[in-house]
Structure 1
Amino acid sequence: MGTKTNVLRLFLVLALLLGLAGCNEATGGDGASADSTKSESKDKDGDTKNASSSGDSDDEKSDSESDSASKDETEKKKPKKEKVTNVNASKVQMGDLIVPVIAEGTIRSRNEAELRTEIAGRIDRVYVTEGQFVKRGQMIARLDDRQYRVELTEAENQYLEALGRLAVDEEKLDSRAATDRLTTSLEDLKDQLNRGVISRKEFQDRQLALEVDAVRDGAYRGDLVQVRSGIAAARAAKDRAALNLERSEVRAPFSGVITNLDLTKGERVNASEVICRLVDSVNLEAKVAVLESDLKGLEEGRDVRLELPALAETLQVTLDVLSPQIDPESRTCDLLMRFKNPDGRVRPGMFVRAAIAGDIYRDRLMVPREAILTRDGRPLLFKIKDKRAEWVYVQLGKSNDRMIEIEKILQGGPLKPGTLCVVSDHLTLTHNAKVKVKKVVEPEVAWAKPETE
């Protein structure tokens, strides 16, 4: 009985376990089926979405192509904006074309001197310093003058003493009539000598005889009395003492700048010793040498342009001196151009380059050199007409450093004085291109003012 019961229980447990196992399989199958359903659903959804996305993309592409086509059509309908080139322009000129002669040289002072002492002595005072500007007559230095003042006083006293002796012999003074007769006779004698009537020896002999006779008649008596009284010697001594006193002072002979001053108070100097140098910094001149082959056409009074590279300045002057001789070694001729330098900026010794007005070609049609271009080996320029650049092919003639002659119009003319031509930003310019003039540049004419119609 107990054994049957245990068997029955075991059977029930096995049956229960088998039942549970069947439920689990059924449940797992449903889950797989469900997952499969979900997967299929997802795949269907994905296909649906992909299809939808593909449709949307095709629609967008179609819209984009439509917009692009519409935009191209709009752009084709709008006129393209024409490019405008900004340029500088200058007027065509009619005038004299001057070809310069170029020469180089230096600046020098017109007045330059070494100041020397005229007498020996000790320096009592120095009135100037190195580099100081002095005026004409201004005191430079003074020597000790006490000795010369004493000598002047002595000479003046001797002169007064001699003058007193002369006053005592006043009645012995010469006869005016005798002096007048001697003067007339000597003039006649000189006339005979000049006409060749008498020789030089005869003239001297007869002159001596006339003077002796005149002295006997009372001529020169005053001079003789002065010599005997000592007044003549006293007057000479007085003048000599005054001259020595004047020479103790060293003064500026002209206005200028003191240089090379090496002088100290108390220093002893000899006669004719150099104490400094005086340079006129206002009155200057440029000295240049021109080859003899370039002298043709040059003459005094021609306009000259002086270029000073050290100051980046150019001076307008004239040719003042054309040397009459040629240096046999260098085969050059010296030219001088004088000018004022009131502010002292230009200094003697500076390098200078001179452009001297040489050959003159009258009434020439010309443009600035900047206006000329070369295309395919042919010179041309662009003239401006109705705000457009038109090429003009030309034949060139004479030129200088600023202007060039238009000898002949080959193509694209006419070209008249006053016509604007392009002088900048035209390297890539084309015919009939639209331009805008930023500035009208007036051509700088170095020597002659051109005539513009």
Structure 2
Amino acid sequence: MRRARGSWVPPRGRRARNAVPVPATGRAGNRRVTGDRGFLLAPACSRVFPKPFRFVHPFSMPPSALAARRPKPLLRTVVTLVLLGGLGWGGYKLWVQISPGLFGTKRVEKVAVTKVRTATIAEEIVAVGRLRAVFSTELRSEINGRIVKILAVDGQRVKRSDEILRLDQQDLLTQITEIERSIEAAKLRAQRARRDHERLLELQKRGVVTLKDFEDSRITYSLAENDAAIAEARAANLRDKLAKTVIRAPHDGTLLLRDLTEGQVITGAAAQNGGTLLGEVADLSQLMVRTNINEIDVARIKLADVARVRVDSMRSVLIAGVVKRIATSALESSSDRTRVFPVDVILEEPDERLRPGMSATVMFTLARVEDAPAVPLNAVFSTAESARYVFIKKGETFAVHEVEIGIADTRYIQIVSGLKIGDEVARSRPLEFEGELPVAAALPAVKPRSNKTKSTDPGPAPAGGDNSKPAAPPVRS
């Protein structure tokens, strides 16, 4: 079949597979592009390519275009060298880590050291608690009722017997009116029984009535008087309840009223849950912090010991306090089921900004030394026999050195003997001492005390001894 002049002829073979599209120049259409290096595919590719393209065969491209498409040898060389250098450095680091284990040699370890220096050390017991008034009374109603009037506001200064709120009295007033009528009826019955008894008494003297009738009149008279007395007792009880519908201040102080509303129904203190807490009347001129101390540390605290109190809302203010009360019996902590003892610390100079319920931190200072030789806590180790030792640096090696320690805080521990200022000790156990027990000397044995013979050996100090000689802090073994 003969094609018309100017029609498009699709490329065939290798020429079609290696055709490269390039933007066409000149007029668009279905005529051939002049020259032997390209052909126009506009009619067939008009749906795929919105603009005509010229496909150029690679073998017909100029040498400069082919050279630009080839990768540059310099760039290839640089990338190859960088990759080889990274692989070599990683292999070197891996060899340094595994070579000591492969050949049985010990790994070289850099042990951190520290110098013995002078420091001020204060051994303290830190506990948390809440502020409360030294003298305060909770307000609870003795009867159930509905609040009809609130006569005071929170934070108001009140005097003794000032009215704070009132409960509904209508029910009690109705009962009192009813019981008063019962009292009058009981008194009338008693008067009638008394007159009947007196009349029968006269007739009995003349022998007109029998002894049975006389005794019945006497008993009737006694029962009428008894009913009248019972009614009067009930009336007195209702009047007492009526007086309890008015909640009054038990003493002078500041009213700390809860969030109450008129019309709210409250329960009395005789209820199973202790009744509704209405508020508290507190004397804010004296405040204290009540904190819980565990059974190990409570033996080291004594009455009249000085403590420091820091309130969380005023971190920059440090208030002095005195221990005024240490509980004689322990309580069980609800959080971790441990035994704790409540301790009260009274603030000597309370600030006006302090309020009951604020969180506070109490610090009890047990012992304090100044300019004493000290090392960090992690530089002292311990054996099973409670012998303390350090690793002192001698040249490039370390040696075990036994020391005697004193008090400690959260950072440093006092060195009583065994080291001097400037000595360097390790802050961790060197590898050459792993799994060994360097210190063989143990503490001297304590002879048991006898009831007949008084021992001269005082033995080790107990954990709850005098504050001037607190128990040694725990160190690592």
The one of the two structures with greater contact order (alpha-carbon pairs below 8 A, sep at least 6) is: 1
Scaled by the length of structure 1, what TM-score is found?
0.40
- Bigger CA radius of gyration: 1
Q: Counting helix residues as a fraction of each chain, which structure ranks higher?
A: 1
